[in-house]
Amino acid sequence: MSNAEYAAFVDAGGYSRREFWSEAGWAWLAASGLRAPRYWQEAGDGWRARSFDRMIPLPQSLPAMHVNWHEAEAYCRFAGRRLPTEAEWEFAASRGAGGGPKQRFPWGDTPPTPQHANLQGDAPASVEAHAAGDSTDGCRQLIGNVWEWTASPFGPYPGYVVDPYKEYSQPWFGNHMVLRGGSFATARRLVRTTWRNFYTPDRGDIFAGFRTCV
């Protein structure tokens, strides 16, 4: 999801149209007072976005970032699409060519390089970059650039092993949403298609974006 695509939702009045928001999302929006993503600012010549300590013209081809789960869900209603479930995301990211064995990364089992994914860096890249990291089915940037919200609440599944540091996972079952894929700031040695992250749906301060499906 690029900034240009998300801006179409904002410019269509998406932050003031109740029909796009869930009850919880609308309550969050009313409390926040936002009419665009938290780090966007309207200017005479269009939108500007905060890039660390400065405001710059909204980079159209960069991924929409610092949007929370409620905002992602509202965009999906606007576009007539939806967020992928966690299982759908993992299937798309790890499916081997021709239905072969599950892969550790979208492109295969070779560890990520700068050509495959935007990881361990200091800034997001264009949503068109890193074609070498495409999945078997041609999905781009399933790994790196921004964390991706899914439609699934964080919880156990068959075969899931609770982290030995139990306070890091089990207490958050049911009230956090799952993110997948890693961001530009994620270390290469950590990321894989099965790695889960989780935050409450109101969190927009993280390096998170989203992709949609039909």
Q: Are residues 102 and 201 in the same domain?
A: yes
Does pTM surpass 0.85? yes
**Three-state secondary-structure class, residue 134:** coil
Among 86, 74, 81, 97, smallest CA distance to 17 is for 74
**Three-state secondary-structure class, residue 86:** helix
Q: Are residues 52 and 78 in the same domain?
A: no
With 80 as the cut, is the pLDDT of residue 166 above it?
Answer: no
With 90 as the cut, is the pLDDT of residue 140 above it?
Answer: yes
Q: Are residues 29 and 106 in the same domain?
A: no
What CATH number has the domain bearing residue 92? 3.90.1580.10
Using an 8 Å Cβ cutoff, are 85 and 150 in contact?
yes
Q: Are residues 148 and 47 in the same domain?
A: no
Q: Are residues 91 and 115 in the same domain?
A: yes
The structural domain count of the chain equals 2
Give residue 36's pLDDT.
Answer: 97
Residue range of the domain that includes 20:
3-61
Q: Are residues 31 and 66 in the same domain?
A: no
